[in-house]
Structures are given as C-alpha cells and as structure tokens.
C-alpha cells in the first residue's frame, strides 16, 4: 500500500525533477526575445535547430574543444542544473553542447502540445539527431547522459536508425536499461525519505503540481515545497534523522533555478507521458502489482552498441547500480561483445557525482572523449 501510494505520487517524477523559475514575466519575455536574436546573431554559442517535425530545439555551447552533447535528466527538466558542475569537472579541451528537451526550457512546446503525439520516443530521438546535423557535428557524436538522459542516450545508441551515429557514450547516474529497476528505485527512495511519514508529506505537496489534479497550479512555491523535500534524498549525505532539514553543502550546490517558466508549467506532464508510454507499466502499478510488462527493455539491443561506453555511478544512488548496464552481468555481456565498457563506482556518492565527488568524477571522465 505504501509503495502504491508513493508510485502514484511520483508517477510524473522518475529519476530527477528540478525546480525552474524566472523572476517575473517581463524578465522571462526579455530573455526569450534575447534568445531569438541570439539564434541569428551568434549561432556559434546558442540558438535553435529545427527537428524533423519543425519543432525548434534550443541549444547552448560552453567551452572549446572536442564536442560532447549533454542529455539532461527528467524527463521534464531543462539543461540548466548541469552547466556549472560539468564546466567545473569535465576538464579543458571539451566543448559541452547542452539542449533543452522539447516542451521544456527554451525549446518549443506549449502546454496544449504536451500529448503523446508531441512527446514520445521517436520525437526525442529525432531531436537529438537534429542537434547532430543542425550544428554540423559530423557523422558521429560524443554523448553524455545524466539520469533519464542516460536512458535517452541508450535509446539513441540502440536504435537501428541512429546507432552508427554514436562515437562514444558516457552514462552518469543512468536509469536502467529495462523497466524493472523502477520499483527498486521507488522502494529505495521511500526508505531513505523516511517511509510512511515521507509519503504523507509528499502527497500533501502533490496536488498543486500534479497535471492530472483538478487543483493543478504549478507555482514556484508549490514546487519548492515538493522538490525541496525530495531532492535531498538523492544525495548520499542526507541527514538520517530529522532528515527534512537535509544536508546543506551538496544540496545547496544543486542549481534549482532555470531561465524559463516553461519547465514549471510543462515538466511533470512531459515526465508523465514518457513514463507511461515508455518506462513503467502504469496498469501494473495502479493494481498494486510488481512492475509488469513494459515496452522498455533494451538489454538485448545493447549488443549492437559498438562505441566505447563509460559508466559513472554513485554507490548510494537511489537509482540502483545493479540495474545499470555496467553492473548487470547479462547486460554487461551483451555490451562487451562489441564495445569497450568501463565502469566507475564512486563510494559515499548519490545521484550527482559531479557535485558530491567532483574530483573522482573528473578523474573518471578525464580522457574519455576524444
């Protein structure tokens, strides 16, 4: 019963969901107008590419050197939380290319467009390939995916249409290659957050931010109440007793602000669609059953990956290491048949190794992208 309640509460929130905000409407509009001009005036730094269906996908480039396309977490986030920690830990000679996934950040997608025709696996894969072609990155790209972004990267790398486009693949705190990890993730999170008391707290915060609720009103305050409680448990060093106060050092380093209100308005709806249509068996969860048959199981398809793969995962991540491709022996066997796989497990570390253990993360990723 506890797990079912928590599953319902987090149906729109799987691996990571971050707050996003802008100070006011005028500032938001000024920033969006600036970006439209920037797309014309300085496309080498930031701008838009057109996806296959014409949707404008916002990108921004940081640094110079070997280009690495970064896939942010969620689903339903934007790229902002990754910029500073990756700039600080990826080292010199790397150009980080961030983009906002459709429907969030500065990429196109109004609230009325957030439906299964606009948000689905095919569209997401087309968007990533549009970054490759639109920015003239060549026949193959280096990819770094965090959390849901890791699964996104694996979907691209195992798709027959795109797998030859991957030069190298780094998976950081990645989601699992098949849906079965989700139940363990939820159990870990419930336990870490404090069990039934945490579920009660989260349910109380859920109403105004749940897009399926009649009282849906995703304000910044409502999001802070919900995610401000939840995020601390993604870190290894949360306070085990009285844990609603969290741990200040690492949690405070997580950038909970975005440059657009679109992520507040659309994020959970995007998440819900991806989760329901790809990641979890919603009918099984609604019936309080174990995870059932899902259309997410790419373990066999991983045998087709020929690019080098780097896996970096915190031992204390609520997303279990045992379900990542590097720790599951059967999946590892599939991958190593055709590619070079290196796994780095970082102790005393949760979901954000670039924040919690920046030195170890930097050492693990150093030299991988060429």
Residue 39 backbone phi and psi in degrees, to 5: -60, -30
The per-residue pLDDT for range 301-355, each reduced to its tens digit, is: 888 899 999 999 999 898 877 766 555 555 566 676 667 888 899 999 999 999 9
Average confidence score pLDDT of the chain: 78
Domains in the chain, ordered, with CATH? 1-370 (3.40.50.1820)
Q: Please write the tens of the pLDDT for every residue from 259-315.
A: 567 777 787 788 888 887 777 655 554 444 444 445 677 888 888 899 999 999 999
> What residue ranges in the chain does DSSP mark as E strands?
46-50, 56-62, 66-71, 94-99, 141-146, 166-172, 309-314, 341-346
Which residue has 């949690």 as its token pair? 251
Burial 311-349, CB ≥16 within 10 A → b, else e = bbbbebbbbbbebbbbbbeebbebbeeebebebbbbeeb
Of the candidates 88, 8, 69, 11, which has an alpha carbon nearest to the alpha carbon of residue 276?
A: 11
End-to-end CA distance of the chain: 49
DSSP 73-123: STTT--SHHHHHHHHHHS-SSEEEEEEPPTTSTTSS--GGG-STTTSSHHH
Extract the tokens encoding 132: 């490759």
Summarize the confidence of residues 175-196 as an average pLDDT. 78
């Amino acid at each position: 019963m506890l797990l079912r309640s928590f599953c319902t509460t987090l149906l729109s929130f799987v691996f990571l969901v971050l707050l996003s905000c802008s100070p006011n409407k005028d500032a938001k509009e000024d920033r969006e107008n600036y970006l439209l001009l920037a797309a014309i005036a300085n496309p080498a730094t930031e701008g838009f590419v057109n996806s296959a269906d014409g949707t404008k996908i916002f990108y921004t480039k940081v640094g110079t050197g070997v280009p690495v396309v970064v896939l942010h977490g969620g689903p339903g986030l934007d790229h902002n939380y990754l910029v500073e920690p990756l700039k600080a830990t990826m080292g010199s000679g790397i150009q980080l290319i961030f983009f906002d996934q459709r429907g969030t950040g500065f990429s196109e997608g109004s609230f009325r467009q957030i439906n299964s025709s606009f948000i689905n696996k095919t569209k997401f894969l087309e968007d990533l390939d549009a970054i490759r072609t639109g920015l003239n990155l060549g026949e193959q790209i280096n990819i770094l995916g965090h959390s849901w972004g890791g699964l996104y990267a694996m979907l691209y790398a195992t798709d027959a249409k795109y797998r030859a486009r991957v030069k190298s693949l780094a998976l950081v705190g990645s989601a699992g290659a098949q849906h079965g990890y989700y139940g363990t993730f939820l159990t870990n999170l419930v336990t870490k957050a404090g069990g039934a008391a945490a579920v009660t707290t989260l349910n109380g915060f859920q109403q105004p931010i749940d897009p399926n609720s009649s009282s849906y009103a995703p304000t910044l305050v409502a999001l802070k109440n919900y995610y401000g409680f939840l995020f601390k448990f993604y870190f290894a060093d949360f306070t085990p007793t009285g844990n609603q106060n969290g741990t200040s050092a690492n949690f405070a380093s997580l950038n909970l602000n975005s440059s657009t209100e679109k992520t507040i308005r659309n994020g959970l709806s995007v998440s819900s669609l991806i989760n329901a249509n790809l990641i979890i068996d919603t009918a099984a969860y609604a019936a309080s059953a174990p995870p059932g048959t899902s259309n997410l199981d790419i373990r066999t398809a991983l045998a087709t990956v020929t690019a080098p793969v780097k896996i970096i995962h915190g031992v204390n991540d609520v997303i279990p290491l045992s379900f990542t491709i590097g720790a599951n022996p059967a999946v590892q066997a599939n991958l190593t048949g055709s590619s070079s796989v290196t796994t780095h497990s970082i102790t005393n570390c949760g979901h954000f190794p670039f924040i919690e253990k920046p030195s170890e993360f930097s050492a693990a990723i150093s030299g991988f992208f060429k």
